Structure 1
Amino acid sequence: MINREKLLETRQESDAFGVLEVPNDALYGIQTSRSIQNLSFSGRMLKQYPGYIKSLATVKKAAALANCEAGVIDHSIADAIIHACDELLMGKDHEHFLIDVLHGGGGIATNMNVNEVIANRANEWLKSVVGSNYPVHPTDHVNASQSTSDVCHTAMRLAIIQYYSMLEIVLIELENTMSAKAQQFMDVPTISRTCMQDGMRIQLGETFGGYAAVVKRRHESLRQAILDISSINLGGTVIGSGVGAPLHYRQIVVEKLCEISGVALHKRENLFDAAQNLDDLGNISKQLSLLASSLIKIAKDLRLLASGPEAGLSEIYLPEVQAGSSFFPGKINPVIPETLIQSCFQVLGCDRVVQAALEHGELDLNIYEGAAGINILDAMMMLEKSLSLFTAKCFSGIEANVERCEVLANGFIPIVVELKEKYGYSSVSKWVKEKSKEEIKAIYKNGGAYIDES
């Protein structure tokens, strides 16, 4: 018996693998539906990555302009495609991107999802029927002169560059905050530690200056890695040969993309290399990993320096943002540094995926590039959010426990270090072995007057 209610809710589309029911209100089509059914596992859908969708739309718009100029598609088809791309760039229709971003097939589901949504929206604009693939066809027109390989390669790099611009703002704010805090604490003497044991006297600001320096250095290395991915393979089609794309299209498509995106991009010197190797993405991920490792060290230091307050180091006070315990009344835990640490753990995990994708590419096309790119986007988004919280709710509000720092600065080991600088390592080692701490402190206090020269 025919379910007429279901017929009203769905439309039938067919391909070489048979007929499939597609939701009537869906702008995607049968290829996307099959991918949703066959290739989904992670729960991470393309609609959760609006920046990537916009980058894909930017690539498709550039391709439509280049195809029109090259005579591959006529003006009416190109105009309809461009209109649909512009709607995606404005944030419309993103709810129709339901494919799993970690699918097999070298990104085919991503490319077909965007092809079908653009084609159906273009056909609506031309007063045609959604799902008809007429007059605008998802592969014949929206995907003309392109391959999944060069589309996704290019769009992912464009998305990473644009996501990085948001992370960079947060990194600069953190660097400035750290530098200011270092200056604020430069007149606070305290104690250093090596091997978790007491060391020489330093200024608290010197420790914080080290934090500012490593973040700045890691930021500069990351920025350079981002610059390196501005070389793309659009026009190279599947493996870099450019087969399937006319010469004039290949000559102008990157120029069109630069004009639309406002990003300075250029064609990779060797397009076969671009299809085979994603070490440029591996480098970005490694820089993110090094940044995360450095941030873990800083956040752990803050937990130690603020530990106590009575039985720990207690050299600094972290801002109190919420109750720290459901058991201990009044207990305040370092929840913001601990949140940053866990964010950075996730970034390290993302990097392992990227390096695995780099390692497991075979022959003429690395089909795992999509997984690498998504994990880089995830890492950058997590860092952008966690660092924004860390700067605003923790680092900017750190205060020094001046009294505690002064007590530590005048402890036994700092005194021994200063005596060593004046009387030599051997002599002071002998005193430490033979004299009490009180006697050595007396030597220090009196400028060596009680030294037994024998």
Structure 2
Amino acid sequence: MREEADQFGTIEISKDALFGIQTLRTLQNLSFSGRTLSQYPTYIESLAMVKKAAALANQEAGVFEEQIVNAITQACDSLIKGDHHEQFPIDILHGGGGIGTNMNVNEVIANLSNELFGSLKGSYSPVHPADHVNASQSTSDVCHTAIRLAIMKSFKPLISALDQLFEAIKGKADEFQDVTTIARTCLQDGMRVQLGNTFRGYSQVIKRRLHSLEEAVTKLHSINLGGTVIGSGVGAPNAYRDIVVSKLCEVSGIDLSHRENLYDAAQNIDDLARVSSELRILASCLLKLAKDLRLLSSGPEAGFAEIHLPAVQAGSSFFPGKVNPVIPETLIQCCFQVIGCDHVVQMTLEHGELGLNVFEGAAGANILDAMMMLEKALNTFTEKCIKGTEANRKRCEELANSFIPLVVELKEKIGYTATAQLVKVNGKVEIKNIIQNGGIERDTSNK
């Protein structure tokens, strides 16, 4: 064990730990969710990118010498590569506006840097967590920037999952275009429809939601790095502020810019709230799709039974041979969670107070959670449900020739009022027989 001290006392820490006393304070005081920063590798990598860019900007601004910068950037590169992520044990959700997150990464980078100089962990010499790793920065602009980078990176696999879903549904639309079935309104029988057109509608809403989500994520490219706590930039030299975003562009490979007003950026996180709203709308559309598939595949003998979903596992511990739509139901539950995540994000937006929204970290974490859940659920949904979905052609033909679709065709021949009167006088069975036998033509005299 080693000892570290702060103004609140002395704490023993494992001598092998790369984190220090501030991280341990966060662990002891602010843990509740069971979800650790180590479970968010993209966020850790993004934080390390911010720290590397800040170190490079500090060097050009003359804040500290090249040896210190080289050590910090090497430590950051190690984290960006994926090393040492187990050294981030703090709760992803904690008070203090993200102070625990910032100090955890500061301490890990400082200890990694000092190892390069042959110094012991916890010595914080010659590289100090606050004086060097955090130079010209605040928790506010560091975490604000890093969480947006993490969301941009996490969006890429979600884009891929949505693209694959779109292509799979579009493929089924083409496959089912020659299958005529029945449409329903108010869950009651309606007119004939091509099953392919129903699936084409599903594909288009996925495509539209993807484009809307892309637009929202694009807005996250405007960041407040250099604004320090409330957007004033106090504590950061002008020379640093002028170049730190361009350094981050180089480090991350992402085109970034300053927000138009950095005070606004510190106070208002509506850009995150918009991304979350788009995720919620996407989840609502996916819910509708998954519910439709459950209905269309219901039965198989006493339901709609217009499609067959792939059987992936036993559906019941009670009914032998019963197969349930477990993949759509899994997606539905994922969407419930995404909608719940959005509720948290919208609450963080409205609970921001005065000069700084200290709940931004909770918003970011819930967006990352929503994206991760959707990506996993959609990949499974596409591979194990959509791609193996089949049309029950015999059942679809039967439904397409049921009473209401035939009556709709009759209405087009003789008009709504005449058709309604015929149904009233003759009854459904007789009218169906007459229609199928071709026994009614339009009376042009309107008698």
Please classify the TM superposition score into its range, dividing by the shorter chain length. Answer: over 0.9
Distance in structure 2 (CA, Å) of the matches to 1:446 and 1:103: 73
Q: CA deviation at 1:448?
A: 4.3
Determine if the alignment matches structure 1 residue 425 to structure 2 residue 416: yes
* 2:212 counterpart residue number: 221
Distance in structure 1 (CA, Å) of the matches to 2:416 and 2:2: 87
Q: CA deviation at 1:387?
A: 0.2
* 2:358 counterpart residue number: 367
* 1:7 counterpart residue number: none
Determine if the alignment matches structure 1 residue 184 to structure 2 residue 170: no
Is the CA contact 1:443–1:450 (under 8 Å) kept in the aligned structure 2? Answer: no
Q: Give CA deviations for 1:180-213 in whole Å, capped at 9, x if unaligned.
A: 1111101000000000100000000111011001
Distance in structure 1 (CA, Å) of the matches to 2:49 and 2:91: 21
Q: Give CA deviations for 1:158-186 in whole Å, capped at 9, x if unaligned.
A: 00000000100010000011111111101
Distance in structure 1 (CA, Å) of the matches to 2:14 and 2:440: 93
Q: CA deviation at 1:430?
A: 1.1
Determine if the alignment matches structure 1 residue 307 to structure 2 residue 307: no
Distance in structure 2 (CA, Å) of the matches to 1:162 and 1:450: 63
Could you tell me which runs of 5 or more consecutive residues in structure 2 were left unpaired when the two chains were aligned: none
Runs of 4+ in 1 over 4 A off after TM superposition: 450-454
Q: Give CA deviations for 1:206-253 in whole Å, capped at 9, x if unaligned.
A: 110110011111111000000011000000000001110001110111
* 1:348 counterpart residue number: 339
Distance in structure 2 (CA, Å) of the matches to 1:35 and 1:163: 26
Q: Which residue type is aligned with residue 406 of structure 1?
A: E
Is the CA contact 2:161–2:375 (under 8 Å) kept in the aligned structure 1? Answer: yes
SS of 2:255's partner is coil
SS of 1:248's partner is helix
Determine if the alignment matches structure 1 residue 282 to structure 2 residue 282: no
Distance in structure 2 (CA, Å) of the matches to 1:29 and 1:358: 32
Is the CA contact 1:443–1:451 (under 8 Å) kept in the aligned structure 2? Answer: no
Q: CA deviation at 1:125?
A: 1.2
* 2:428 counterpart residue number: 437
Determine if the alignment matches structure 1 residue 32 to structure 2 residue 26: no
Q: Give CA deviations for 1:142-167 in whole Å, capped at 9, x if unaligned.
A: 00000000000000000000000010
SS of 2:11's partner is strand
Distance in structure 1 (CA, Å) of the matches to 2:424 and 2:350: 56
* 2:95 counterpart residue number: 104
Q: CA deviation at 1:445?
A: 2.7
Q: CA deviation at 1:429?
A: 1.2
* 1:6 counterpart residue number: none
* 1:115 counterpart residue number: 106
Distance in structure 1 (CA, Å) of the matches to 2:405 and 2:338: 38
Distance in structure 1 (CA, Å) of the matches to 2:141 and 2:422: 72
Is the CA contact 1:416–1:428 (under 8 Å) kept in the aligned structure 2? Answer: yes
Q: What fraction of aligned residue pairs are identical, expressed as a percent?
A: 66
Distance in structure 2 (CA, Å) of the matches to 1:409 and 1:268: 57
* 1:238 counterpart residue number: 229
Is the CA contact 2:231–2:263 (under 8 Å) kept in the aligned structure 1? Answer: yes
After superposition, the CA RMSD in angstroms is: 1.1
May I ask how many residue pairs the two structures share in their alignment?
445
Q: CA deviation at 1:254?
A: 0.4
Give 1:174's match in structure 2, choosing from 159, 165, 176.
165
Q: CA deviation at 1:439?
A: 2.3
SS of 2:303's partner is coil
Q: CA deviation at 1:446?
A: 4.0
Determine if the alignment matches structure 1 residue 415 to structure 2 residue 400: no
Q: Which residue type is aligned with residue 180 of structure 1?
A: G
* 1:199 counterpart residue number: 190
Determine if the alignment matches structure 1 residue 159 to structure 2 residue 146: no
Is the CA contact 2:230–2:262 (under 8 Å) kept in the aligned structure 1? Answer: yes
